[in-house]
Structure 1
Amino acid sequence: MWKEKWIQNLRNEKNYSSHTEISYFTDLTQFQQFIVEECGVFSPEQVDSDLIRHWIAHLIETGITPRSVNRKLSAVKSFFKYLKKIGKINSNPAEKIRGPKTSRKLPAFVHHEEMTRIIDDELAYPESFEGVRDRFIIELFYVTGMRKSELIGLKDADIDGYSKTVRVTGKRNKQRIIPLSDATVEKMKNYINVRDREVPNKTAFLFVRKNGEQMYPKMIYNIVRKHLDSISTLPKRSPHVLRHSFATEMLNNGAEINAVKELLGHSSLASTEVYTHVTFEELKKVYHNAHPRAKN
């Protein structure tokens, strides 16, 4: 009962996405099962810090990655925080517990020259509605840094051709405005003209399928993957790689980190700072390849 009320609270007051709700619900269910196996029954009032630490140790022993352990711990912390808020328990036993340290991987990205080649490759995009749409999807990802879900959710009403901006609805329904270049606005107009001519009975969404219905995540992923496959050295080929590419290029070309944070829709500067490490890695490559003493 408390678990369902907690999830409802996340949905109504915290504006968590359905994906986060499902993940948290699953994580807490697994935690409950562990407590039942250890104690015979799950009673929030009887759970203490030592029991939670024992659960974390169990997760690590079974091969769960530190990142996943920390997500599960976040779910448990959130649950007990909610119970304390409504007076079900007097203290949060998970409040001061820290999860295992995670090694943060540098995000994969595509260099500007490669992105230009991919976008300008005439043979890669057929002269059809799908071809025009797919090429513009790739370019819009790259020039705005928006997330896959944000692009799928775009509607015609979110585009302001006069002010050359696009309104993006991000995580927890937070909205931000991203500026567009004159060239991007012209390409958007071209795409919309082709779409309106070729697609009957379309929805209000900007990007649609041939039948006029909204596109879905796997479809977007496949489009991006198809066009990034030509880069054999790229470890990942997803829409998020284009988001990484946008952020990296912005910082490489002198953009202020707080401005990039706002454009990406990050709630924390720490999420944006990872791209400064990427740019530093690029500087090291240039140094080692160019300086005669570094080569030695």
Structure 2
Amino acid sequence: MSSTTTTTPATMSDRDREDMIRANMPLVGHLVREMLGRVPAHVNRDDLTSAGLAALVTAARAFDVERGIPFHRFAAARIRGALLDELRGLDWASRSVRSRARQTDVARQHLTATLGRTPTLAELAAHLGLPVAEISSVEDDVQRAVVLSLHGFTTGSADDMVTEPTMGPEDLLVHRERIGYLHNAIDALPERLRTVITRYFLNDEPMSVIAAELDVTESRISQLRAEALMLLKDGLNTHLDPDQVTGASRPDGCVARRRATYFAQIGTKGTLTSRLARTSPQGLPVAA
């Protein structure tokens, strides 16, 4: 039934509400597709659809035409809230993931300072006393959490990744500045890391192709990608949310100095005016 119906809640029949639900089921599909475009591919469409349909039914039961709000707008707010609740339940960046991320990062920094290069997975595993397979699993979990964090520049919440489609003027300016900082952070990366990030995320090139052209293994590309994402995260947070920056294990070491130099370079890559003029890099979405 159209949202312009003159039936009041007191007289609206169950059949009327059922018709209203059926007429607005495509709205659920639209909002689910919109959200799937902003979250990683492993998010299950059916789970989101079920949550959205349940919210549509609840909205139909609670709808009051006397408020003067069209039903599709009323239902859309309820559906988006239910989808966010569903995303929160996935717990992508749990405490254990964050803890393992810190342990792995500290170990990598220590070995990098000792060896003068980025350690291999086998060296990381030996240093941590863990099987190589478990280190690989940690790397995958950490990378997923870091990729998700780029949506809101913090590790974790679904609210950071999926926001309401409309923003006020102040929120819009902050959002555009973040996009600009992301561009600056990518531009300031060391050449090899910038190449991996640009070609893998922005140009959507397979890891095997990047590895072949750089004459390294796919495992090495995966390591460089994880290293670059950690740098991006901490680089962005240095300027946007300093409390989220991962502390260096050796503040006076060469690794800490290189990180500090990189963080400083991000700030010199642009001005407020130039950052506000940038658009979101394809492949590395920012909360929109």
- TM-score by length of structure 2 reads 0.30
RCO higher in structure (CA 8 A, sep ≥6): 2
Q: TM-score w.r.t. structure 1 length?
A: 0.29
